[in-house]
Every structure is written in C-alpha cells, then in structure tokens.
Chains A and B, each alone.
Chain A
Amino acid sequence: MDTIRLYFRSMKMLLRSHLQYPASFILQLCSQAVMLGGELLAVLLIIDRFDSLNQWSGGDLLFFFGVMSVTFYIMECFARGVTSFGPLVQKGTLDIFLLRPRGVLTQVICYQLDPRRLTAILVGVAAMVMGGRQSNVTWTALKALALAEAIVFGGLVVLGLFFIEAMFSVRSVKSIEVVNALTYGGRSACQYPIDIYPEPLKILFTAVAPFALTIHLPVSYILGKNLFGWPDAAAFLCPLAGGAFFLIMYVLLQFALRYYRSTGS
C-alpha cells in the first residue's frame, strides 16, 4: 500500500514538473499524436491498397495496431523510468537509488513519468475502436478479459525487454542498440499479426520476446479467428507467458545489480 502511495505521489510531483514548461508540454503532446498518427496513416494506406493481408481484414489490422500501441505507450508513459533504465545506469543515478531504503525497481518506476505519451495512447485507443467497428467485433465479458490480459501481459513483456537493456548498460556502457532492436523493433513488428512474418521472426516473438503469446493470441480470439487450431482457452492461458518472461528478466536484473555493486560503474 505504502509503495502504491509513493508511486502516486511521485507521479503527481513529476506531472507538475512537466507542467513547468506548458508550451513545450503541449507541443510535445501534439508531436506524439502526429508521430503515432503517421504510423496509423501507414496502416490505413496499406488497408486501402490491399483489402486484406492473409486472413486479416483491414479492421483486424487496425485493431492489432491499436492494442500494441496502447500496450507499449502505457508502459512508456507510466513506467518511463524502466524504459529509460539504461541511461539511468549510465548517468550514475542508480547509486542514488541504492542509497535509499527502498527497492531499486520501485524507485526506478517512481523516478520518471512521461505524460506526453498520453496522446499516443489515445491514438492507439482510437485505432482499436475503429478496427473493432470495421471488423464487427461483438464484445463479451470474455473478450474484454482477453483484451485486458493482452495489455497487461504485453506490457510486462515490454518491461522485461527494457530490463534486458538495463542489464546491458550495467555490463558495458554502449551496447544497448542491439537491445533497442528488440524493444522498439518488437513494438513496430508486433503491430501486425505475427503470422504474416517469416519463420525466424515468428520464433523470435514467440520464444524470446513472447508478444505472439501475449498479444497475438488473445487479439485473434477477440477478432474471432482460429487460434492455430488451439482451443479458446489458449487465448487466456498463453498470455501468462508474458508474466513468466517478466519474472525471469526481473531475477536476471537482480543478478546484474549485484554485479554492479561488486564492480562499480
């Protein structure tokens, strides 16, 4: 409880600090909207040219795009500290966290907020609504649950990926570009259904960064597609892999932090 209160108080303070520069804040809100809006436009163009991609209709693609964007940008917005963990290690801010009687992860999450991403989240929601309408999704309680799972566990995968980035920056200062390919690359790639990709990418996003399990499956269920012949329950059970991925990365990060404390920066 205490930690949650600390989180909300931190967020309140950080929001105020962003509002110190109102003009820049509004402009950045706009820029975020334009940025993701541009990507949305690209999807719309593709839909316009080709009515469908494999088994996926235009509405389906929009819906995929929306879910992935919402998942990713919620994390970028409310757990910005984690998504910029790498730079925090490089700047030596980690030392300050280690000097306080709280968990490092708690402090990292409480350290930054990126409210500019709110518009990006909104664009994602808009894409989801539009896509859902076009594909005539009829919402049921189970479908809502599938969507919630996709966003929650997909978000955990995103955090886990940023943990990898943090581990790399503990070990050596500049090799995070490799990991960026997984984080930001994963986001871009998994805005589309996984099965349009060649085999190696499918494996990458199933076994390594399990976006296929956390997002692709539940969204397929919502859109009423067959799940590779798997029973419907798979749409609810597979996303849990995202939680497992997060836990593994969390444990590895603890090892990395122990290493940091024995080597210094």
Chain B
Amino acid sequence: MPYIHVEQLNKTFVLRKRREKGRLFREKTLVHALNDVSFDIGRGELVGYIGPNGAGKSTTVKILSGILTPESGDVTVGGMVPWKERKNHVRRIGVVFGQRMQLWWDVPILDSFNLLRDIYRIPEQDYQKRLRELTDALELGDLLRTPLRLMSLGQRMRSELCGSLLHRPEILFLDEPTIGLDAVSKLALRDFLRQENRQNGTTILLTTHDMEDIAALCPRVMVLGHGKKLYDGALPELLSRYDTLRVMTVRYGMDTPLPELPECCRAERDGDGYKITYAPAEIPTAQLLHILQAAGDIRELTAQPQNVDHLIAAMYRELDL
C-alpha cells in the first residue's frame, strides 16, 4: 500500500449566482473541481503538482489535509482517512499556504513557536532540539525575537516553514511557497526543502506556478487541468513532448546573404543577423549548423532552448485548459 493513496476522487462545488431580476430562484452551477483523480505517492517522494488556476490543486491539498470532505473516492494517507480522523491525521502533516499565515502577527516568532509547541503537545526536549535544527537551517536565529509584522516576505516565509515543521510532520504540503520571493530567498528555500526531504524523509507535495521550483526540486510532476489528471511522470519527459521548436540566431561578418534553407525552417531578419526557427525533429541541429557554416564566416551564433514557462503555456493551450 503506497503512503498516499488516492483513487477516483471526486469533488463538486455548487456555485450560487446572484439572483437575476425576474427570477424566483438563484441559478446554480455545478463545478467539478475534481473528476476521478487517482494517484499514489510513496513515502519520501518529492512531487510537484501543477496546473492552471482553478484546476483543482488546492482542493486536492485541502482533501488530503482533512479540511474538506470529498463526494466520492478513496483516500488514505499513511493508513488513515484524512477527514474521518482529523485530529490524528493533522498531527502528522504540515501545511504552508503561500498567502495565508498561521503565525501570530504582533508577537516575536519565538512566542508563536512556543504556542505551537503547546498546541501540538511537543515534548520540551524534542522541541528545543528541533527548533535549533530548523533555525540553523532556515537562518532564523537572529530573528527569533522579531515580531512577524516587522519581517520581509522572505523572512516571513521561512518563519512559516519553521512553524509548520516543528512537530516533525511526515508529509509537507506546500501551496506556492515561493510566491513573491526574490531570487536569493527562492534558492535558499529550495535548498532547504531538498535537505528536509533527504535528511528526514519528509514526503513533500509542492503546488506552484513557478516552473523553476519544479525543475529544481521535483523528480516527479503531476499536471491537473479541469479537475482531471493529465500527466504523471518526470518533468523532462513532459517538456520534451512540447519542446518541439528551437530558435537559433546567427550573425555573419559582412552582408552575407542567408543560405538556402530547407523548407521546414523559418527565417527572419533580426537586426544585422537572422533568427531561424526550426523543429529538431524535422531537421537535426547538426545538419542546420552545417548549412549555416557553409555560407560564410559566422560571427555569432546563439541557440536558445524554449523557456519552461512557454512550454507549459503551450501545453495548457494544447490541452485546452
């Protein structure tokens, strides 16, 4: 039995529209937030969970963490049904919402942590040890006596992470943890998550729109769209499916005319050079290079892979999300 087991999960929300004039009742629309979603996650896995806004990602996380009850479907997390044994279940999980803080706003974060210790009934010795571990790893040592409201966004996110990991959860749900963070904080956060996953074997489900997060952290990625699971596997494989076009820019020394190119390539003038768009599947890069080199002395040549975000956008478009 896998650690997290989800089978045929369904969840429908009833949206009540505002009553229109002349109608007696409000119109109701059903939104299928989740439509027969199934997946398994093993212990200690680090899984990225992506999909456009409104795809049902947060609904899944809410069901897995026991806040919401689904309509139908089997869910077990470590042998427990989350919404049936809420208190026992949430003891083992940590949840970080990028946009919702659980720590208290006006008090030093150490006070918040102490209160969480009482809420989770963490034994004092264990708590001190864990707090030291986390403050070292997240570089919070100097900030413990600073109230949350005086912190920068990055510091706040680190504090939140620390707060949700104090009770040593087996599973960590992260909902857009890097939203609004600068590059340095993002990198530090990723390092921390990787380390937490490796050292403590914490299972992590990461929901994000930041593809860099996924690329850097998650060996496995699940794509959700319109409440359905569309892909489950490695990220490079997913990308290679949509990574069909490449762009190469070439500049020659003098006014060398662009050589005759095969039909499958599209070329356009770009300043004093040429921008060539081609599909590696139709003409291998090496062959194209050969043709370009034969035409004259190349002064500058750049080849760019497509940006991950563009690929994902292309995928969403193709799948009509």
Q: Which residues of A contact B (CB under 8 A)?
A: 2, 5-6, 9-10, 13-14, 16-18, 20, 92, 95-96, 98-102, 107, 261-264
Beyond A13-B115, A264-B59, 18 additional contacts (C-beta under 8 Å) are A13-B104, A13-B112, A17-B104, A95-B67, A95-B97, A96-B102, A98-B66, A98-B86, A99-B67, A99-B102, A100-B90, A100-B119, A100-B120, A101-B88, A107-B119, A262-B68, A264-B67, A264-B68
CB of B273 to closest CB in A, whole Å: 53
Whether A20 contacts B118 by the Cβ 8 Å rule is no
Closest residue of chain A to B86, judged by CB?
A98
Whether B95 contacts A99 by the Cβ 8 Å rule is yes
Whether A17 contacts B107 by the Cβ 8 Å rule is yes
Closest residue of chain A to B92, judged by CB?
A101
Residues of B within 8 A of A101 (CB): 87-88, 90-91, 119-121
Whether B67 contacts A261 by the Cβ 8 Å rule is yes
Residues of A within 8 A of B147 (CB): 17, 20
Complex Cα gap A179–B138 (Å)? 46
The answer to whether residues A261 and B90 also contact, given A9-B115, A102-B119 and a CB cut-off of 8 A, is no
Complex Cα gap A14–B115 (Å)? 11
Q: B278 an interface residue at 8 Å Cβ cutoff? A: no
Closest residue of chain A to B101, judged by CB?
A96
Residues of A within 8 A of B83 (CB): 261
Q: Counting chain A CB atoms within 10 Å of each CB, which of B83, B105, B119 scores highest?
A: B119
**13 A-B residue pairings within 8 Å (CB atoms):** A9-B115, A14-B104, A16-B111, A17-B104, A17-B107, A17-B147, A20-B147, A95-B100, A98-B90, A99-B66, A101-B119, A261-B68, A264-B59
Whether B87 contacts A96 by the Cβ 8 Å rule is no
The answer to whether residues A96 and B104 also contact, given A261-B69, A264-B62 and a CB cut-off of 8 A, is no
Closest residue of chain B to A9, judged by CB?
B118
Whether B118 contacts A5 by the Cβ 8 Å rule is yes
Whether A263 contacts B13 by the Cβ 8 Å rule is yes
Complex Cα gap A162–B97 (Å)? 28
Residues of A within 8 A of B86 (CB): 98
Q: How large is the interface on B (under 10, 10 to 19, 20 to 34, 35 or more residues)?
A: 20 to 34
Residues of B within 8 A of A92 (CB): 100
Q: Which 6 A-B pairs have the closest CB atoms?
A: A17-B106, A101-B91, A17-B107, A101-B87, A98-B67, A96-B102
Q: Which residues of B contact A (CB under 8 A)?
A: 13-14, 59, 62, 65-69, 83, 86-88, 90-91, 93, 95, 97, 100, 102, 104-107, 111-112, 114-115, 118-121, 147
CB of A258 to closest CB in B, whole Å: 8
Complex Cα gap A181–B121 (Å)? 40
Whether B119 contacts A6 by the Cβ 8 Å rule is yes
The answer to whether residues A2 and B121 also contact, given A17-B107, A261-B83 and a CB cut-off of 8 A, is yes
Whether B106 contacts A20 by the Cβ 8 Å rule is yes
Whether A20 contacts B119 by the Cβ 8 Å rule is no
Complex Cα gap A100–B100 (Å)? 15
CB of B89 to closest CB in A, whole Å: 8
Whether A6 contacts B118 by the Cβ 8 Å rule is yes
Complex Cα gap A14–B90 (Å)? 24
CB of A201 to closest CB in B, whole Å: 33
CB of A24 to closest CB in B, whole Å: 11
Residues of A within 8 A of B62 (CB): 95, 264
Complex Cα gap A105–B114 (Å)? 20
The answer to whether residues A99 and B90 also contact, given A9-B115, A261-B83, A264-B68 and a CB cut-off of 8 A, is yes
Residues of B within 8 A of A96 (CB): 100, 102
Whether A13 contacts B107 by the Cβ 8 Å rule is yes
Complex Cα gap A263–B102 (Å)? 22
Closest residue of chain A to B33, judged by CB?
A264
CB of A153 to closest CB in B, whole Å: 29
CB of A81 to closest CB in B, whole Å: 13
Complex Cα gap A102–B68 (Å)? 17
Whether A16 contacts B118 by the Cβ 8 Å rule is no
Whether A16 contacts B95 by the Cβ 8 Å rule is no
Residues of A within 8 A of B90 (CB): 98-101
Complex Cα gap A2–B121 (Å)? 9
CB of A151 to closest CB in B, whole Å: 28
Residues of B within 8 A of A14 (CB): 104
- Residue of A2, A20, A263 near B107 (CB, 8 A) is A20
Residues of A within 8 A of B102 (CB): 96, 99
Complex Cα gap A92–B118 (Å)? 22
Whether B87 contacts A102 by the Cβ 8 Å rule is yes
Residues of A within 8 A of B67 (CB): 95, 98-99, 261, 264
Whether B107 contacts A99 by the Cβ 8 Å rule is no
Complex Cα gap A256–B68 (Å)? 13
CB of B181 to closest CB in A, whole Å: 21
